[in-house]
Amino acid sequence: MRYDVGGSRFNFSTASTMKYVFSLALAACTLTLVACGQSSSPSVSSIASPEKPASAAAPAAPAARHIGLVMKTLTNPFFVEMEKGARRAEKELGITLQVKTAAQETSIEQQIQLVEDLVAAKVDAIVIAPADSQSLVPTLKRAADAGIKLVNIDNRLDPDTIRQAGMAEVAFVSVDNEAGAYKAGKFLAETASGPTQAAILEGIRSADNAKQRLEGAKRALAENKSIKLVASETANWKIDEAYRTTKTIFAKHPDIKLVFAANDMMALGAAKYLQEIGKSSVRIAGYDALSEAITEIKSGRLAATVDQQAAEQGYQGVALALRLIMGEKVPLTTVIDTRLMTAAELK
């Protein structure tokens, strides 16, 4: 057999030819192996590593529970403090908190929409400080039917409306509003030694906490027979409306000496008007212990307020919601202590 290699001719027998071809193949393989062994590049395996059995995988961390907090507004510092307490619970308890607030304390329809938004978002629980004790019940019933746990804080949902809607009782966190208002009313009443006219600025009349505070203040004032309640009007929790309502009341009853306001915002509105007309002798008590009210007490422009621990209400509401999510039984009512704040108390 004849081969041309590099332009030269070679003649081989068949046996020689086979031996020569074998030798060339062997040499090529050897060179390849040597080259691979001398390479400085990292070795890369093309064989996939076997997957670990599913049982060997680390357990996934539990998903954070999502809790919605619905409040009336953040224009009132009381609810700012409530959110602070709820945020503390979020941090300590490892939940995810969604805070929703309406524009004003009278924005009931907006609160209803906020609840519906949380239902659509499929939160695990809703903690709500309702603007109205009846109107929020139907939408909260839909939330409960969707498996969402409910906790009611601050203003109590009306028990009769809940029963009529076919709902189970809702856990409630708040203070004894009647007792707190009684403390403030009694403090005012104790200063009256002769015939004295009094007035009350009410909150939203359909709200249970407004009703309770009205009853507590009336009970305290009535215990002093020298006091006559000549006016009781709503100012819907608002500072500007309280200013206007106080102006109207004093136009009819200029001799009023005592005013109980069902929240500090209304107390501040009343105080502003009375300062403007020079009636500094009128004693005013509020409710909520806002920092602005505390300042006014120290200056002598307010007589008292009631601390109902807004931050603690927010914290306990979220904590109860998490317990319900985890399948625990919780008390139907959790009462937070109130404290009367006066100039003597603040010294």
Q: Where are the domains of the chain?
A: 66-175+310-337, 178-307
Distances (CA, A) of 313 to 23, 152, 165, 183, 189: 92, 10, 26, 20, 29
Give pLDDT tens digits along the chain (347 positions): 433 333 333 343 333 433 333 343 334 433 333 333 333 333 333 323 334 333 344 444 457 899 999 999 998 999 999 999 999 999 999 999 999 999 999 999 999 999 999 999 999 999 999 999 999 999 999 999 999 999 999 999 999 999 999 999 999 999 999 999 999 999 999 999 899 999 999 999 999 999 999 999 999 999 999 999 999 999 999 999 999 999 999 999 999 999 999 999 999 999 999 999 999 999 999 999 999 999 999 999 999 999 999 999 999 999 999 999 999 999 999 999 999 999 999 98
Task: Report the relative pairing of strands 2-5 and 8-11 from DSSP bridges.
Answer: antiparallel
Residue 153 carries which side chain, given as an amino acid letter? I
How far is C-alpha 130 from the geometric centre of its chain's CA atoms? 12
Q: Hey, what CATH topology would domain 66-175+310-337 get?
A: Rossmann fold (3.40.50)
> Distance between CA atoms of 102 and 230, rounded to whole angstroms?
34
CATH topology of domain 178-307: Rossmann fold (3.40.50)
Tokens of 128: 């709500």
| Token couple for 116 | 């519906």
CA distances 149 to 86, 127, 128, 152, 322, Å, are 16, 8, 11, 10, 9
pTM of the shown model: 0.79
**Run of H or E including 210:** helix 208-222
**Contacting residues for 78 by C-beta, under 8 A, at least 6 apart:** 263, 264, 288, 290, 310
Query: Is it true that 66-175+310-337 and 178-307 share their CATH fold?
Result: yes
For residue 38, the model assigns a pLDDT of 38
**Could you tell me how many residues make up the chain?**
347
Q: Which residues pair with 304 in a beta bridge?
A: 285, 342
Rg of the chain over all Cα atoms, to the nearest angstrom: 38
> Helix (H, G, I), strand (E, B), or coil: what is residue 61?
coil
Q: Can you tell me the distance from the alpha carbon of 155 to that of 132, in angstroms, rounded to the nearest whole number?
A: 8
pLDDT at 64: 80
What whole-number distance in Å separates Cα of residue 283 and Cα of residue 258? 5
Q: Which among 57, 87, 59, 58 has a CA at the least distance from the CA of 71?
A: 87
* DSSP class per residue in 91-134: HHHT-EEEEEE-SSTT-HHHHHHHHHHHHHTT-SEEEE--SSTT
318 near 156, Cβ under 8 Å? no
